[in-house]
């Protein structure tokens, strides 16, 4: 994983599942939770609901929540995962370069960035809704 201690986040850009594209550089100056997942990952499936509930607790003005799908076979697989988990969040279609840039070695991996897009928190594996809320709340 990338180090914390206010390390600047690497670039993150790419196509979105629902069309258009995303670029972290152009994003607003608010904290960001970035959730890297794979559609076949059981732990990712268990933690997706926590992201959905966190979105209900934290409005879009105070926290941006992004998901980045990695290690996927085709769009149908990604769409099925998003539908099955009612993941109403932006889904960036990541690739191997994205995984290398962000040092993703397992799923799910979370990074919490402050409003200047410096890495403040990181985690690997299952995280509870309370854990996600706490990490994002103390960041911004």
* Token digits of residue 91: 């889904």
The pTM of the whole model exceeds 0.85: yes
CB 94 within 8 A of CB 111: no
CB 84 within 8 A of CB 48: no
Confidence of residue 140 (pLDDT cuts 50, 70, 90): low
Phi, psi at residue 10, to the nearest 5°? -70, 170
- Reported as a single tens digit per residue, the pLDDT across 95-123 is 999 999 999 999 999 999 999 999 999 99
CATH superfamily of 8-137: Glutaredoxin (3.40.30.10)
């Amino acid at each position: 994983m990338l180090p914390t201690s206010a390390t600047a986040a690497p670039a993150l850009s790419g196509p979105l599942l629902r069309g258009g594209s995303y670029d972290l550089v152009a994003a607003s100056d608010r904290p960001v939770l970035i959730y890297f997942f794979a559609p076949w990952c059981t732990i990712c499936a268990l933690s997706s609901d926590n992201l959905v509930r966190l979105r209900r607790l934290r409005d879009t003005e105070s926290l941006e929540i992004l998901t980045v799908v990695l290690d996927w076979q085709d769009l149908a697989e990604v769409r099925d995962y998003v539908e099955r988990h009612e993941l109403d969040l932006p889904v960036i279609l990541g690739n191997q370069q994205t995984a290398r840039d962000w040092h993703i070695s397992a799923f799910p991996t979370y990074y919490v960035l402050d409003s200047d897009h410096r890495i403040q928190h990181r985690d690997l594996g299952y995280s509870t809704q309370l854990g996600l809320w706490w990490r994002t709340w103390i960041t911004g």
